[in-house]
Amino acid sequence: MEGTIALVTGAAGGIGQAVVRLLAERGAAVAAVDLDAERIAATAAALRAEGLRVTGFAADVTSSSAVDDLVEEVETRLGPVSQLVNAAGVLRLGQARALSDQDWNATFAVNATGVFHVSRAVVNRMVRRGAGAIVTVASNAAGTARAEMAAYAASKAAATAFTKCLGLEVAHRGIRCNVVAPGSTDTMMLRGMHTAETAAKASIAGNPGQYRVGIPLGKVASPEDVARTVAFLLSDEAGHITMHELTVDGGATLGV
């Protein structure tokens, strides 16, 4: 990845931040993008203090015009983007029949429409250059029913299908599009589903009442576990892989 330009959304924390760090450690110049201007500025500054080439950008992925402006600014300041990671995401819990319009729309706006906006803006530039790699961070919930996660699961399924269809359409232009589907990962999102003390234990143990089997490997993923998978799919080592969905969940979905 030495000398490449990468754009990562959802970069101020969790999986996105771990991806930014890893790509920068491997030699990429990274445009770290997040809605939270203060957090992304602090994140980028801390990584630059370690000698890593990271530049923070605040942008709302739910706005197509904001995304178009973002990509223009990134390429003007850093150079042509050759790697994109869609890691921005939100979670709104609730039973499907009780979800509000606001919760449904907000979830899709970030998790699905945001992926569309950013991928479209970046891939249209990649097509002209005849190369590039995109990874969308989705979820194992996209293919396995989860109680009280209907909006999240549906939005991640949409993002997964979009990324694969995009990959089919641009494969002949030398652009690869893949999906990483994490399970329970040690992030603020997971801790928001339980107390900080019980988040990992609850995920590992599962919940028979919700038909959730737990995690066979006996641990939740770290953000770095997911970041390493993302980096692999972006790298030349995965040069003949496209339209693939790689699950990183410790066996929680039993390999299905």
Domain 5-248, CATH homologous superfamily name and number: NAD(P)-binding Rossmann-like Domain (3.40.50.720)
Tell me the backbone φ, ψ of residue 147, rounded to 5 degrees: -65, 140
pLDDT at 62 over 80: yes
CA distance 40 to 213: 36
- pLDDT score, position 192: 61
Q: Where are the domains of the chain?
A: 5-248
pLDDT at 193 over 70: no
Q: Which of 152, 180, 215, 252 is catalytic?
A: 152
pTM of the entire predicted model: 0.94
Q: Residue 42 to residues 28, 39, 57, 81, 187: CA-CA distances in angstroms?
A: 19, 5, 11, 23, 18
- Cα 21–chain centre separation: 14
* Cα-Cα end-to-end distance for the chain: 32
pLDDT at 256 over 90: no
Q: Please confirm, yes or no, whether 152 is among the known catalytic residues.
A: yes
Nearest to 179 by CA among 117, 126, 115, 243: 243
What value does the mean pLDDT of the chain take? 94
For 111-137, write each residue's pLDDT tens digit. 999 999 999 999 999 999 999 999 999
